[in-house]
Amino acid sequence: MSHEPPAAILMYDGDRPALRERAERLRPIIEAALPVVGVENDLDPPFEPNGAEIAIAMGGDGTVLRSARLMAHAQLPLVGVNLGKLGFLAGINPEELDVALPEIAARRYRLVDHLMIECELVRDGSVVAGRLGLNEAAILAGEPFAMIEVNLRIDGDLAATYSSDGMLISTPVGSTAHNLATGGPSLRKDLHALVVSAINPHTLTVRPVVDSADRVYELTVPTPNPGTTLNVDGQTVDRLLPGDTVRVRRSDADFQTVEVAGQTYYKTLREKLGWGRRPRDRA
């Protein structure tokens, strides 16, 4: 094991002036602790790691998602520095860098694996679009905002038919995003499972389903609305046509986070989402 500090590549959205300014103010602080071998400030392909061992994403959770999408199947362990609001994925605040950076430089950190998903849009038996996702694959009903019917098959077996405003297949990382807002469960980030949840289902008996990440999930929309779309991690992939199927499976790529002492999943839930706190504690 090397005793040298890990080389880092910095990632942030340079198209947002306020974010770019804050990220550039932090750069000398990072460079004082770690060798910085590159900067990705547009977050658009291609990705050139330049020999980096870790990536440092500065921004909000959206920056982390874009960084993961940029690295695609060449994922580097990522340190998320929160320059946004919630910062659930970007777990280190700027004022914590003076403690976190020496730990990272000394390699006193742990790597936590998080599964990613491959999402394919299948039309007439052929894959017409595909995306790598960290959070979720979503089918959104769209205009004219009538409910759609969606058939769910798991490993080819018909599991259920939903009437709803859309469907989500979420990773454990994504379980605290749109899935949580729909009433779905939150999963530990290191679990090998996916959550299937309906958005505003018409039937009271419909509940989210948690199943193995090693299965193949297929969502077919017999009659989509004109505005029905497939979205992956908040980005529109394509409009759905009648009979289109969205196929979701576990990716060979794993997203990794760098965590130092003091960072835990339940601490993040408590501090970022107010999980398990009484109303008087919030006050």
**CA atoms of 283 and 281, how far apart (whole Å):** 5
**CA atoms of 219 and 180, how far apart (whole Å):** 20
Q: What's the pTM?
A: 0.89
* Residues involved in catalysis: 61
26: which 2 tokens? Answer: 């932090």
Beta strands in 141-223 (DSSP E): 148-154, 157-164, 166-170, 193-198, 209-212, 217-220
Averaged pLDDT in 10-residue chunks for the chain of 283 residues: 88 94 96 97 92 96 94 96 79 92 96 96 96 97 96 97 97 93 90 96 90 98 98 96 97 94 68 62 56
| End-to-end CA separation in angstroms for the chain | 47
3-state helix, strand, coil in the chain (%, to 5): 20, 35, 40
**CA atoms of 250 and 85, how far apart (whole Å):** 30
Amino acid at position 99, single letter: V
Closest CA to 232 of 254, 247, 253, 213: 247
DSSP for 28-43 reads: HHHHTTS-EEEEESS-
Q: Please, what are the domains in the chain? A: 8-109+260-282 (3.40.50.10330), 116-252 (2.60.200.30)
Where helices occur in 72-222 by DSSP H, the ranges are 97-105, 178-181
**CA atoms of 179 and 173, how far apart (whole Å):** 10
The per-residue pLDDT for 276 is 63
The per-residue pLDDT for 196 is 97
Closest CA to 190 of 101, 261, 97, 266: 266
Closest CA to 240 of 113, 93, 138: 138
**CA atoms of 213 and 185, how far apart (whole Å):** 15
Distance of CA 13 to the CA centre of its chain: 17
The per-residue pLDDT for 212 is 97
Residue pair 237/129 in contact (Cβ under 8 Å)? The answer is yes
